[in-house]
A and B are shown apart, each in its own frame.
Chain A
Amino acid sequence: MTYAFPQLLRPHVLASRNRARRRERGDLMRAVMFGAIGLLVCGALFQGSFWLTSRLDAYDELGDYLLRIGLSWLFLTFLSFLAFSAVVTALSTFFLSEDLRLLLTAPIPVRRLFHARFFRTVGQSSWMVVIFLAPVLMGVGRARCAGVSFYLTSVLTTVPFAVIPVAAGTLATLFLVNTFPARRARDLLMLMGLLFAASLVILLRFIRPEQLLKVESLPDLTDFFSTLQSPVTPLLPSFWAGESLFASLQGGFDLLHFGALWTTALAAIVVARMACERWYFAGFSRAQEAPKARFTRLRGLDTLVGALPLTTVRRQLLIKDVKTFLRDVSQWSQLLLLVALVLLYLYNFRVLDLDRIPYMTGFVKNVYAFVNLGMAGFVMATVAVRFVFPAVSAEGPAFWIIRTSPVTMRDFLWSKFWTGLLPVLVLTEVLTIAANQFLGVDPFLKIMAAAAIFFMSFALVGLAVGLGARYPRFNADVTQVAGSYGGVAFMIQAVLFVIVMILLLGWPSSMYLFQRARRAPLGIAQQWLMGGCFASAAALSTAIWVTSMRSGIRALERMRD
């Protein structure tokens, strides 16, 4: 008995439909929130690409040239995301998915299984790229008053453009699963994370953005364009997609590149299918074998935590949390990406050439100190949503152990808070102090920023732990909890909090610096205002910290209802 491959996609489609039909608490709010954010982002992308294309229109041939390079750049960026996403998704759909055990025991030819899994992988790994790409291309089309053929070409270009990296990702996954020791599939994610981080760093270094910032280099147009064109190679599908769309914008049809896209996509499917027919089962079989799991004993951790002045319960909770985190490759490997981004962030401050504007250097540096504070706040929010917010959910189905033990939910949640606070506080303090040092900002601002980060860490970690307890996802993969309703709610509140903090700290600080530049002393009223603003910032942080934790504890206690 055989099944056509769309039949194999049916459970996925039906499950999605049933999920859509089933209403859960917060579904409407989540839909509204995600919908609003999505619409906002799409609208901004549309407006941005429309504005940019309209501006470029004024430069005739130069504008055309820049638009052409811009399209190739756009597709190159999406290509790298697609390639990474495809490997991660293929690993899950082809090798780790639970339903494979059922499907592989059914009389289904590998070819059909491949087709079903492949199209599912294409859909899962490319939907986000398509959502971002669509408004950008619509903006370009609108600005150039393009006809229907442009939009049709866009669709027909995007399809093979998404298929090629997914086929390549499937092949890469097939190779890795067959090469690495069995049951190390999740470890592959770490490797992918590293590769992605490295490629990101290389890509950004490739562009050499600091060169574009140098005014004196701008007159040398040859260098400028060669800098722009350096990563655009005619051998990549991103170039073919860009060329096809540019030709369509001009009212023509670039058969060569359009044909290259489609033939490569179809050939890639055939090659991937042949490889799967040959090596898929061997790879899947290897992934099922269960040799002894390799792990680190982390004995030093027991000794270290044992020396801390903690109660027995908190000590054991801390040891368990840290060991679980460090032994889960999918969790800690994301830290590598974070480290890469932090290094890039600091590097940017290091190379920032503010002395180009001699009269404004001091002012700009101090403005940058607040930009830095804001950025550190957003980094803090991102780290908190990814690593602190899922802390309660990370207990997973084993949460019964805590709930049936004589440990109060208060003890449990506070333990989660302190475990999350330390790394977040250290990371963001180092980031802020180092960046301000590189910038050479005023000492007053350095101290103020360090103090602000201290308070913000308590507030944001408290908010993350509290909301994580209010909206736990015990059955979800920890790496995906950040994208849940609670995670989004946290990000929105965190961003608002960071903005309010910058306003509360920025205004009195600028007043202080302004008076000092004028060599005028601060009046009593101004001093009170300054103190009031700083006290408000501290009070706001403390209030968010305490109320979030309290509501989190209450939510955990209510779970018994």
Chain B
Amino acid sequence: MIAIHDLIKTYGRFTAVNGVSLDVKPGEIHGFLGPNGAGKTTTLRMIAGLLKPTAGRIEVNGHDLATDPEAAKASLGFIPDRPFIYEKLTAGEFLRFHGGLFGMDGRGMGDRVREMLALFELGQWEHELVESFSHGMKQRLVMSAAFLHRPRAVVVYEPMVGLDPRGARLIKDVFRRMSERGVAILMSTHTLEVADEMCDRISIILKGRIIARGTVDELRAMAGGAAPEGPDDGSRHGEEANQLTAVFLKLTGGTALQEIDEAVG
């Protein structure tokens, strides 16, 4: 469970995050959308413990991040947008190191590492240096590290960037399986198709404030649109995503851009 209350972050006179409150329940995949510079990254970095809030409270699985940071972090998995990892370690060594940081040790560690590598289709790369990995492989390695210690909550930033269609499908499946097991996932993405397909609820942030929240259908209703009709024959997701794009642009004030897009298209 992730709960944030009245979160504020200021840089000098600039307020990046202005009173954001959010609640991600166990088993929920919560989309966090917003245009560039809206405050998504700052919010996620605060939840991950990389930035200190100016005001407000963050709770991860009942642990206050300010007063009990180690316990909060121990039950959280963080997947950043850019997979910077130690290039001179092998995939297996990196996971063992990461597990060690979360207090994992002993005989079970090797099995768990191999299990995660297999889950993210990196098993054959266990003994290869990370520096020889592609971006997508590094991204999958970071994800396997994030799930290694069996977190109860995961914060993920742009999970599909740099992944091939097979990798993207794999990640979607893993996220669904984790949410079915009760893991709370807060996911920031610019790919509205992904948000539409995977998220139970979505929060839209603009200029540091949450301007809309709800299921995809609720957001459509908020923007004055309607859900697409007819049977789900596969093309429906694309249609829904287009609709979500319209909703997103309408809510975040990007309709002019969309009109240009349509005119050019």
Shortest distance in angstroms between B200's beta carbon and chain A's nearest beta carbon? 24
Query: Is A400 located at the chain interface by the 8 A CB criterion?
Result: yes
Contact partner, B101, options A295, A328, A407, Cβ 8 Å: A407
Give Cα A297 to B70, complex, Å.
32
Q: Assuming A292-B132, A295-B88, A324-B86, is B98 touching A403 (CB within 8 A)?
A: no
Could you tell me if B96 and A316 are in contact, using CB atoms closer than 8 angstroms? yes
Asked if residues A398 and B86 are in contact (CB atoms below 8 Å), the reply is: yes
Query: Counting CB contacts under 8 A, is B51 at the interface?
Result: yes
CA distance A292 to B102 in the complex (A): 30
Taking CB atoms and an 8 Å cut-off, the chain A residues in 388-420 that contact chain B are: 396-398, 400-408
Q: Which residues of B96-148 are within 8 A (CB) of A?
A: 96-105, 127-129, 131-132, 145
Is there contact, CB below 8 Å, between B52 and A560? yes
The reply to whether B103 and A313 form a contact with Cβ atoms under 8 Å apart is yes
Nearest residue, chain B, Cβ from A292: B132
Q: Would you call B50 and A313 a contact (CB within 8 A)?
A: no
Q: B89 interface residue, CB < 8 Å from A?
A: yes
**B240–chain A nearest beta-carbon distance, Å:** 33
Q: Which residues of B contact A407 (CB under 8 A)?
A: 70, 101
Q: Are B84 and A406 in contact (CB under 8 A)?
A: no
| Residues in B neighbouring A323, C-beta threshold 8 A | 88-89, 93
Chain A nearest CB from B227 CB (Å) reads 38
Known contacts A324-B89, A398-B84; A405/B101 CB under 8 A = yes
Which A residue's beta carbon lies closest to that of B78?
A404
* Contact assessment for A327 and B84 in the assembled complex, using a CB-CB cutoff below 8 Å: no
Flag if A396 contacts B84 (CB, 8 Å): yes
Is B49 in the interface zone, CB < 8 Å from A?
A: yes
Tell me if A406 and B88 are in contact (CB < 8 A): no
Q: A320-B86, A406-B69 are in contact. Are A295 and B129 (CB under 8 A)?
A: yes
Judge whether A220 is part of the interface by a CB distance below 8 angstroms. Answer: no
Q: Give which listed residue, A292, A295, A398, A405, contacts B73 with CB less than 8 A.
A: A405
Residues of A contacting B101 in the complex (Cβ-Cβ under 8 angstroms)? 313, 316-317, 401-402, 405-407
Given A312-B103, A312-B105, A313-B103: A400 in contact with B52 (beta carbons within 8 A):
no
Return chain B residues, CB-CB under 8 Å to A560: 49-52
**Contacts of A543-561 to chain B: CB distance below 8 A:** 560-561
How far is A327 from B129 in the complex, measured between Cα atoms in Å? 10
Instruction: From the candidates B88, B98, B127, name the one contacting A405 in the complex (CB within 8 A).
Output: B98
The answer, yes or no, to whether A293 is at the interface (CB within 8 Å) is yes
**Roughly how many angstroms separate A560 CA and B69 CA in the complex, as a whole number?**
12
**Contact across chains for B84 and A328 when beta carbons are under 8 A apart:** no
- Shortest distance from the beta carbon of B12 to any chain A beta carbon, whole Å: 12
- CB pair B52 A406 closer than 8 Å: no
B177 CB within 8 Å of chain A: no
Q: Cβ of B88 and Cβ of A401 under 8 Å apart? A: no
Contact across chains for B103 and A293 when beta carbons are under 8 A apart: no
Question: Closest CB of chain B to A96's CB: distance in Å?
Answer: 14
Interchain CA distance A408-B127 in the complex, whole Å: 29
Whether B48 is near chain A, meaning CB under 8 Å from some CB there, is yes
Residues of B within 8 A of A405 (CB): 73, 98, 101-102
CB neighbours (8 Å) of A320 from chain B are: 86, 89, 93, 97
The proximity string for A residues 275-316 relative to B, scoring 1 for CB distances below 8 Å and 0 otherwise, is 000000000000000101101010000000000000011011
Instruction: Please tell me if the beta carbons of B88 and A290 are within 8 angstroms of each other in the complex.
Output: no
B163 interface residue per 8 A CB criterion: no
**Is A319 in the interface zone, CB < 8 Å from B?**
yes
Contact with A along B23-61 (1 / 0, CB 8 A): 000000000000000000000000011111000000000
User: In whole angstroms, how far apart are the Cα atoms of A290 and B133 in the complex?
Assistant: 10
Chain A residue numbers with a CB within 8 Å of B100 are 312-313, 315-317
Cα–Cα, bound, A323→B99 (Å): 17
How far is A466 from B82 in the complex, measured between Cα atoms in Å?
Answer: 28
**A and B contact pairs by CB, cutoff 8 A, 20 listed:** A292-B128, A293-B131, A295-B88, A295-B90, A312-B100, A323-B88, A328-B88, A398-B86, A400-B50, A400-B78, A401-B85, A403-B48, A404-B73, A404-B78, A405-B101, A406-B74, A406-B101, A407-B101, A560-B51, A561-B51
